[in-house]
Structure 1
Amino acid sequence: MASLYDGKMAAIYDAMYQTFVNYDEEYVFYNNLIQENKASTILEIGSGTGNLAKRFQENNQNYQGLDYSESMIAIAKERNKNCSFIQGDMREFKLENPVHAILITGRSTSYLITNDDINRTFASLFTNLTDDGIIIFDFIDANRFIPFTKENPLIIHEAKYENENYTRESHWDTNNSLENFMLEWTAKYYKVVNGEKEIIENDFSTVRVFTLNEMELFLYLNNFEIIKTIDRKTYAYDTYVIVARKKITS
């Protein structure tokens, strides 16, 4: 799994994504799906620095977050004193009590590199859901994203947060020697001071993108029934969001 947001990268991520993502809109989007399915207990995987957690807490919902990064969780706990956060791996975790809904947010599925990673994750979700439980998750659409990276070799994101200006310059490389639809992501993070860029951090990660058919098959093989598929445009890339219900087999 990626350690992309450990150490000082957690704070940089938090600062930049405050302006990339409208978390009020994100909360409304996910909460509408939760309410449609009458889910009262919620686990968010990829809870990060607790920006969605804050909204769930403010609305007195039964929420807990799980993230792989201890650094991200430390920020989340400071921001959300009354929320429960767990440091853990989505491929293998065990809650004290099963929940009605599990969210995987922020395209965290991109870090499920192998088929084994995906199958283990869905098995963990299945185990930690109630019998009528649902999962809601997003993923980057390979059919649109790979051509996008070919046509846009350098992607620049700019953000201003707490009077600091930041720039991220990222590059995606399709590696045909790797299995599945895999990309290698490199990024440079800068702080802009008096019009001059000062390097903060270099980053590298291998990520995976999926086709819709591919993800549908993984769900079928892991005993989930798709309720809804949403074609969603987010702050940077086209994604799909899937809502699926745990299927109890006799």
Structure 2
Amino acid sequence: MSKLYTNLANVYHEIYQTLFDYDEEFKFYDEHLRKNGVAKVLEVGCGTGNLAKRLLDAKYDYWGIDLFDEMLEIAKQTAPNAKFSQADVRNFDLNSQFDCTIITGRSISYLIENNGLLDALNCIKRSLKVGGMLMFDAIDAEKMFENFESEKVDELEVKYGVNDYQRKSRSRKNLSSGWTWDWESEYFKKDSNGVYKKIGEDFSTLRAFLKEELALFLKLRGFQLIEVLPKKSYAWDDNFFIARKVS
């Protein structure tokens, strides 16, 4: 299980606000939600509530779910008026129906097994009204793996408020359950003497997707794929999928 969203939840909250432009993220989702007449929205993988706050301010009827209580505790501070629930996208039931479900922050990358993805799409379909929408971003497998050598190394330094962080990460091809890779990272924080001290580490297996395979997954679970768009995001090329519940 990823420690980035548990032990390091506050570190995630601070680091990723420097990596993602949440104002631009909100504008992107807002455009497509409004275009499709969405009023009531469910966010899967709501994290620490950065989009929740903006969606609430824009007067959407909002509900967010996340797998990790530690992330939700921060989300409740970020967006205190939002409705949040701890839930696994593969087996949730909120006893409510929505105009649209959005899976944000490329959270679909953690559904590395086909059965898990199909279970998630089933749950999402049950949560949607007739004709309801599903929108999500996914890492583009073709663009990622065409030049993926055996290992990729990345290092970054960011500043958030008074805190200076460093992350050293390593990606290795896995391919055991799809277009998957192992991502391990170490996190450091600068102390009062200006020295970076290790504060934690994380390991996850992640998945990228071909457009064609996601189109098939959606069709198998009663969705019609309406549009696939390129989406600017951090680190890897993304595609943005818009689908409608048809059965």
The TM-score, its normalising length taken from structure 2, stands at 0.95
Mapped to 1, the partners of 2:133 and 2:86 lie a distance apart of: 22
Q: What displacement does 1:25 show?
A: 0.5
Q: Any idea what SS the aligned residue of 2:124 has? A: helix
1:169 equivalent in structure 2: 168
Contact 2:151–2:173 (8 Å) recurs in 1: no
Q: What displacement does 1:220 show?
A: 1.1
Structure 1 vs Structure 2 CA RMSD: 1.5
Mapped to 1, the partners of 2:136 and 2:24 lie a distance apart of: 16
Q: What displacement does 1:152 show?
A: 6.9
Q: Output the amino acid matched with 2:206.
A: V
Q: Are 2:122 and 1:123 aligned?
A: yes
Q: What displacement does 1:53 show?
A: 0.5
2:180 equivalent in structure 1: 182
The aligned runs of 1:25-174 (5 Å cut-off) are 25-150=24-149, 153-174=152-173
Q: Are 2:239 and 1:243 aligned?
A: no
Mapped to 2, the partners of 1:5 and 1:155 lie a distance apart of: 17
Contact 2:151–2:172 (8 Å) recurs in 1: no
Mapped to 1, the partners of 2:135 and 2:17 lie a distance apart of: 22
2:199 equivalent in structure 1: 200
Q: What displacement does 1:147 show?
A: 4.0
Mapped to 2, the partners of 1:50 and 1:119 lie a distance apart of: 26
Q: What displacement does 1:151 show?
A: 8.2
Gaps of 5+ in 1: none
Contact 1:138–1:241 (8 Å) recurs in 2: yes
Q: Output the amino acid matched with 1:143.
A: E
Contact 1:169–1:189 (8 Å) recurs in 2: yes
Gaps of 5+ in 2: none
Q: What displacement does 1:169 show?
A: 1.2
Structure 1 residues 174-231: Cα deviation after superposition (integer angstroms, max 9, x where no partner): 024x131111111011113455321111111111111111111111111111111111
Contact 1:153–1:172 (8 Å) recurs in 2: yes
Q: Percent identical across equivalent pairs? A: 36
Q: Output the amino acid matched with 1:183.
A: W
How many residue pairs match? The answer is: 246
The TM-score, its normalising length taken from structure 1, stands at 0.94
Mapped to 2, the partners of 1:47 and 1:26 lie a distance apart of: 13
Q: Output the amino acid matched with 1:50.
A: G
Mapped to 2, the partners of 1:36 and 1:7 lie a distance apart of: 36
Contact 1:5–1:72 (8 Å) recurs in 2: no
Contact 1:149–1:172 (8 Å) recurs in 2: no
Contact 1:224–1:246 (8 Å) recurs in 2: yes
Q: Any idea what SS the aligned residue of 2:149 has? A: helix
Mapped to 2, the partners of 1:149 and 1:191 lie a distance apart of: 29
Mapped to 2, the partners of 1:134 and 1:4 lie a distance apart of: 31
Mapped to 2, the partners of 1:191 and 1:232 lie a distance apart of: 31
Contact 1:41–1:101 (8 Å) recurs in 2: yes
Q: What displacement does 1:106 show?
A: 0.5
Contact 1:111–1:208 (8 Å) recurs in 2: yes
